[in-house]
Amino acid sequence: MIRVGVGTPRQTQIPPMELPRYGAERLSGIRCISTHLKAEPPNESALTAMAMQRLDALVVINITGTGFTRRGGGATGYVKEAYLAHLVPQDARALIPSTVLSGSNNGQSGGWSISPPLDLDDLADQDFLDLVEGLEEEFRREFVAQEVDADHDRVLIVGVMTDNMSLQQFHDTVAELARLVDTAGGDVLQTVQQKRSRIHPQTVIGEGKVQEVALTAQTLGCNLVVFDRDLSPSQVRNLEAQIGIRVVDRTEVILDIFAQRAQSRAGKLQVELAQLEYMLPRLTGRGQAMSRLGGGIGTRGPGETKLETERRAIQRRISRLQQEVDQLQAHRSRLRQRRQHQEVPSVALVGYTNAGKSTLLNALTNAEVYTADQLFATLDPTTRRLVIPHAETGQPQEILITDTVGFIHELPASLMDAFRATLEEVTEADALLHLVDLSHPAWLSHIRAVREILAQMPITPGPALVAFNKIDQVNSETLALAREEFPLAVFISASQRLGLETLRHRLGQLIEYAVDLG
C-alpha cells in the first residue's frame, strides 16, 4: 500500500500528477481500491483519473450505511457490492458489449470497461496479474501497429474561441489549422473546442479542459497536441506536464512546413533563421542540467551549464544567419537594379497561401514551378518574363512577373523577419497582382489578411490588381457577390486557363498606371 486518501462522502481526490505515467504500451503498476457509501458504479471523474494515470485497475467497493450496532452506538457498514474497472485497448473495444463501457459517443469512447456488480468472492477470484499482463500485451500490440506509421504524427487539435471572435472566424481558424497539420504530414484524429471569455494564463484552457484533452489524447493514441494560437514557453511546459505528450502551437506547425518546403539555399537559410529565433526564448530550465548564471537569489549555479552554452551557440548562429540574409538582400537588390536599368516593369504575384499563384505563373509563362493543393507548396520566389499588350499602343511588351511566398492569417513575426529578403520582391515591384481563391469559404477574410500583411511592409507596395481565381469551382451567388464587392477585379481560372487574355490586357493597364505614378 503506497497511499491512503480520505475524502468527502461525494469523492476522494486523487492528485493527477502523483502516480507514475508510463508509455502508451504500459500501465502504471498500481491498483486503486475506492470505497463509496452510495451503491453506484464508479463515476466519470474516477474513471477519468484511472485513464489519465493508467492505473492497472480501479476497484470500487460500495458500503452500506446501516448494519450491526456496536456497543456504545454507531453503525458498522458492510460490503454490499463491488465493481472492477480497467482500461481497454482501442482495437479491443469493438469486442466488448456497450453495456460495460463508459464514456461519451454512445458509451464507446471512454476507453475503459466496467464489470457488472460483483460480490467479494468474485472479486477475490480475479487474477489481477493475468488481467494486467493481458491488457499490456494488447496495448503493446496496438502501440507497435501505430509505430509502423511513425512518420505521421497522430494529432489532437485544440481550438479556443474567445469573445473577440465570431463563430465563423473560429471555425475557419480551426479548419485552416487542420489543413496546416495535414500539409506538415500529421493525421488529425479529433478536434477539442472550448469557448472562454479570456485565455487562461497558465494553460490557455482551464484545468478541467486540460484533463479532457489528456484523456482524449490517451484514448485516441495521439502523440502530439496542436493549439490554434501561439503559446508562451511556460504554457507549453505546463500543458506538457499535465497532458503527458508533446504540445506545439500554430507557429511551430508553420515553421515545420517551411522547413520541409525550402529547396534553395536562400529558402533553407531563411527557414533556419526563423526556427532559431522562435526557439531561443524557449530554452529555459533549472537544476544541474540547465541551471542559470546570475547574481541574485535563485540564479546562482554550478558555473556555465547547458542553458547558457546552448543559448550562446544559438545566438552566434543567428548572428551569422542574419549576416547571410543581409548578403542575400544585397544580391537581390543588385539584380533588381540591373532589371530596372533595362527598364523592364515588374509585377509581384501575391495572395493567401494555396490561392493558385504558382499555377497561374505556369499558365502565363510555362514556368514549370511545382504546384500542389497544399498550403505553402512553394517558398522560393520565381521570376519569369511575360509578354502583354501595351495599354495604349497594343504592341507586345515584356514585363517580369514574380511568384512570392504565400501569406497566411497572423503570419508569424519570426517568418516576416527571416523572409524579409524574399518579401522585398513585393515592395520593390512596380505593381502587385493580388490573387484570391474565390472557391474558399473565407475568401473575404483572406483578402483582409493579405492587405494587413502588405500594410506592415516597411515600404508601401505599388498599385494592385485583384484577380479572383478558381471561378470554375464557385456558384453564381458567390460570383455575383465578388463582382459587387470588387467591380474592378478580374475573374479567372488558372488551371482551366479561363480569362487569361483579359488578365494580360488588365496587366498592361496596371503597368501603365504604375509607370505614370512612378
pLDDT tens-place string over residues 471-518: 999 999 999 999 999 999 999 999 899 999 999 999 999 988 887 776
Distance CA 467, CA 489 (A): 6
Number of H helices, E strands in the chain: 16, 17
Residue 371 has a pLDDT of 73
pLDDT score for 406: 83
Helix axis angle, 265-279 to 420-428, nearest 10°: 120
Question: What was the pLDDT predicted at 9?
Answer: 63
- Given pLDDT bands bounded at 50, 70 and 90, which one contains residue 261? confident
Top mean pLDDT of 42-56, 225-239, 447-461 is at 225-239
Percent of the chain with pLDDT over 70: 80
Among residues 493, 466, 415, 449, the alpha carbon closest in space to that of 176 is found at 449
| Phi, psi values for residue 415, rounded to 5° | -70, -40
CA distances from residue 510 to 381, 390, 432, 451, 462 in whole angstroms, order as listed: 21, 10, 9, 18, 10
Confidence of residue 286 (pLDDT cuts 50, 70, 90): very low
pLDDT at 501: 92
pLDDT at 175: 92
Q: What is the pLDDT of residue 486?
A: 94
pLDDT at 308: 73
Give me the percent of the chain exceeding a pLDDT of 90: 18
Distances (CA, A) of 132 to 95, 114, 123: 18, 15, 15
Q: What is the mean pLDDT of residues 119-137?
A: 85
User: Which helix (H) or strand (E) is 224 found in, with range?
Assistant: strand 224-227
Residue 247 in contact with residue 238, Cβ under 8 Å? no
Asked if residue 383 has pLDDT above 60, the reply is yes
Residue 18: predicted pLDDT: 61
Q: Average of pLDDT values for 145-162?
A: 76
More confident residue, 265 or 479: 479
Q: Which of 366-380, 448-462, 482-496 has the highest mean pLDDT?
A: 482-496
Neighbours of 397 (CB within 10 A): 17
Residue 364: pLDDT over 70: yes
Q: Is the pTM of this model over 0.85?
A: no
CA 463 to chain centre: 35
Q: Are 357 and 404 in contact (CB under 8 A)?
A: yes
What span, in angstroms and rounded, lies between the C-alpha atoms of 243 and 214?
5
In 390-484, the DSSP E strands lie at: 396-403, 431-437, 464-469
Task: Lowest mean pLDDT of 202-206, 441-445, 458-462, 511-515, name the range.
Answer: 458-462
CB count, 10 Å around CB of 219? 21
Question: Among the listed ranges 173-182, 187-196, 243-252, 413-422, which one has the minimum average pLDDT value?
Answer: 413-422
Q: Residue range 433-455: average pLDDT?
A: 91
Q: Is the pLDDT of residue 296 over 50?
A: no
Give the strand pairing for 382-389 and 396-403.
Answer: antiparallel
Residue-wise pLDDT tens digits, 207-219:
888 888 888 887 7
Task: Pick from 12-21, 47-56, 99-108, 250-259 the range whose average pLDDT is largest.
Answer: 250-259
The answer to which of 20-34, 185-199, 256-270 has the lowest mean pLDDT is 20-34
Assess whether pLDDT exceeds 50 at residue 127: yes
- The pLDDT of residue 473 is 92
Please tell me the distance from the alpha carbon of residue 393 to that of residue 397, in angstroms, as a whole number.
Answer: 10
